[in-house]
Structure 1
Amino acid sequence: WCPVQDDHQVATFIEEVGNFTIFIKNFIEFPAFHVKHKNMVEHLKPCIFHPVEEKDCPIFRLDYILNEAEKDDHERGLMLRLGGVIRVKIDWDCNLDRSIKLCKPVYSFARLDTKFQEEKFSLGFNFRFSSNWKYNRRYLRALTKAYGLRLIICVSGKAGKFDFITLTLNTGSLIGIFGMATFFCDIILLNLTKKASLYRDFVYQRVNIDASRSNSVSQRIQNRNENVGAIFENPLTNEEKFSLPIWTSETFVSFADKRCTTSTYDFVNSTDSSRRQPSLGLTNILK
């Protein structure tokens, strides 16, 4: 039987582990364009990644990866001692209308495991592996618990290339969505065709402002006259007879000790105007 694991044992720390280098080799393919590419450079051996001077080099120092993934110095020290999980993201954005050599990846790093000050159980990252051998006819096994950094590589990318058919379809859809088809057709017919003047006469109506104002005033006067009185034709004599409605405010009027009745509306005709005389603006019928 093997002895029980003792968690109180202090793990052995490797000095200067931050100077270790990691070489990340990545191959990509865009099947739609039948293009394959990789993140290699011509001067690969002597280069070390630098965000300004050597940003295309795929060889990284472990210290640089830790600084990008975790900004706290204390947390970085615990990650080197107890392990951690770091995501390495490689992002490709290629314009295939240019040379494929100009397509370069962009690297980014982030920490995936929980910080040590927030976690109370199963800190960091570790794994176990065993070594088996035989000595003096006895089978021996050594179980090792190793702490370290686990790098998870994530690759994403997109590529584009000019296509005239796609451009035509997208342009037509855009014009149809925003209702600009009529606008562009009007511009072409009014300015670029031989019969632009004929089409302009059908589209636009020419208006004389002075004439329209005088016609408007005349129409208002005519409407007012029609509301005041109406013209009727006598079917027997073919004479025109004008009837004017007169409104009275009193129902009974006294005149010369005689009681007179006045209608609310009374019509004064041209044929019998001599028999009816207005008195004080009122039309009275004497009885």
Structure 2
Amino acid sequence: MKNQITSALSDFFFEYETPRQVLVRNRRVGVVCRLIQLGVLVYIIGWVFIYEKGYQSTDTAISSVFTKMKGVGYTNDSGGERVWDVADYVFPSQGDSSFVVMTNYIMTEGQSMGTCPELPGKHDCSTDADCEGGSFKRTGNGEMTGVCVKRTKTCEVLAWCPVEDDREVPDPPLLLSAENYTLFIKNSVTFPAFDVSRSNLVEDIDSNYISRCLYHPDNAPLCPIFKLGDIIKLSDLDFQTIAKVGGAIGIVVDWTCNFDVDVKHCKPEYTFHGLYGSKEGASVGYNFRFARHYMEDKIQKRTLLKVFGIRFDIIVHSLARKFDIIPTLTAIGSGVGIFGVATVVCDLVLLYLLPKREFYKNMKFKYTDTQVQQDSESVGVDTNVYYTLEENAKQAQGKDQSKDPDSEAGSTETDVSKK
């Protein structure tokens, strides 16, 4: 018993079993196998390693963005001259990554709380019965008092009076000077997995360079100062059109970095995308209302502005890569596994498609037969030898295959040597 256990352990630890292989000399099957293996090799090297960079690990950045606008605008609306600075035309004023620059407006000055008639078309009437007191209309300016104003043939409302008249948008835009405003973007990113921090103010940028540079995609691609007119042009939009009714621009700061080389090569790229504002359709452009309240003769009043502006959304896109042994081994292992596809396909061709598939089945598989086992034992012949002799007898009865260009006569089986 002890010897049996020792022998079993010895066989388990010191022996290696390999699958039985059959060498098939068939040109068609061989070409199919090599073509599949070549395709797998091209996929692994070209797609997995070169294009997808499967030998590297990846990380995305934690990012922060600060912005600052500069520029002064001038308007002369109905004889009223006015200068607009950053505090007047930027909303909000905190320097966020998403903000609006006013390019056009409709101003309603001196509004105070009281009763006044609605605008024509808002809620027309012919008698007081057409104006339901205490009710509101979604597109109206206030609460209806139940009175129909004969002069305007509209309902009277309790609201900030006089009500805003926004039926005509100024054209050309009042703040066309916004085209010359400049935007400064300061962006910092950190890749925690690689312990790397970068800023768009890279090594080549200093205070002297910033004071004189202006972004250009070819001549100054790293300058963080952008002229609004250039941004609109690079977004494939017309400035005057988008300035009239407003719109939105996406500024993408792209950090695609390879940390297998020096970190200083990790630099941002800027792209610009017009999101909406210039196409025909419902609700074209972008606008909102803003009020400045004040007291006059102890009466609360306000100046209401319907602001048409360009909304800027600064979006940071990041992806960093660096060599890592784990994804490398994973990619290699998966590639080696895919090589097995060639074996599966060739086996299917051999066993199910070729005319002499039965011959290949007999060469590839061994079948256990209890009766044959008993017969071989009764004559004292090893089972493998018995099967080999039986197979040779079957082959001897077949036709001559020497004239077949894909002859299986070259198929080799070294399972049993002649005794």
**TM-score band (shorter)?**
0.5 to 0.7
1:103 aligns with 2:266: yes
Deviations 1:215-234 (A, max 9, x none): xxxx79xx9xxxxxxxxxxx
1:137 aligns with 2:298: yes
Q: Which amino acid aligns with 1:44?
A: I
Separation in 1 of the partners of 2:323 and 2:277? 44
Deviations 1:57-90 (A, max 9, x none): 111111111111125x4xx322112211111112
Q: Which amino acid aligns with 1:95?
A: N
Deviations 1:117-143 (A, max 9, x none): x21x43311111111112232221111
Separation in 2 of the partners of 1:169 and 1:9? 65
Separation in 2 of the partners of 1:162 and 1:51? 31
Q: How does 1:225-244 map to 2 (within 5 A)?
A: none
Q: Which amino acid aligns with 1:94?
A: C
1:114 offset after TM fit, Å?
4.9
Separation in 1 of the partners of 2:220 and 2:317? 21
Q: How does 1:263-274 map to 2 (within 5 A)?
A: none
- In the other structure, the counterpart of 1:85 is 248
Deviations 1:35-61 (A, max 9, x none): 221111333222110111110111111
1:35 aligns with 2:201: no
1:46 aligns with 2:207: no
Contact 2:200 2:268 (8 Å CA) reproduced: yes
Q: Which amino acid aligns with 2:321?
A: G
Greater Cα shift, 1-10 or 141-150: 1-10
Separation in 2 of the partners of 1:152 and 1:31? 25
1:8 offset after TM fit, Å?
3.2
- Which of 174, 187, 193 aligns to 1:26? It is 187
Q: Which amino acid aligns with 2:311?
A: R
Which secondary structure does the structure 1 equivalent of 2:323 belong to?
A: coil
Deviations 1:134-174 (A, max 9, x none): 22322211111111110112211110111233323322221
Separation in 2 of the partners of 1:4 and 1:10? 16
Separation in 1 of the partners of 2:331 and 2:236? 44
1:160 aligns with 2:321: yes
Greater Cα shift, 49-58 or 7-16: 7-16
- The percent identity for this pair of structures is 38
Separation in 2 of the partners of 1:36 and 1:160? 14
Which secondary structure does the structure 2 equivalent of 1:16 belong to?
A: helix
Structure whose CA Rg is larger: 1
- In the other structure, the counterpart of 1:172 is 333
TM-score normalised by length of structure 2: 0.40
Which secondary structure does the structure 2 equivalent of 1:49 belong to?
A: coil
Q: Which amino acid aligns with 1:109?
A: F
Separation in 2 of the partners of 1:139 and 1:4? 16
Separation in 2 of the partners of 1:22 and 1:83? 17
1:61 aligns with 2:227: yes
Separation in 2 of the partners of 1:151 and 1:61? 13
Q: Which consecutive segments of 4 or more residues in structure 1 shift more than 6 A?
A: none
TM-score normalised by length of structure 1: 0.57
- In the other structure, the counterpart of 1:247 is none
CA spacing shift, 1:96–1:153, aligned 2, 3 Å = same
Which secondary structure does the structure 2 equivalent of 1:44 belong to?
A: helix
Q: Matched residue pairs, number?
A: 180
The structure whose RCO (Cα within 8 Å, separation 6+) is larger is: 2
**Structure 2: runs of 5 or more not aligned:** 1-112, 114-159, 344-395, 401-419
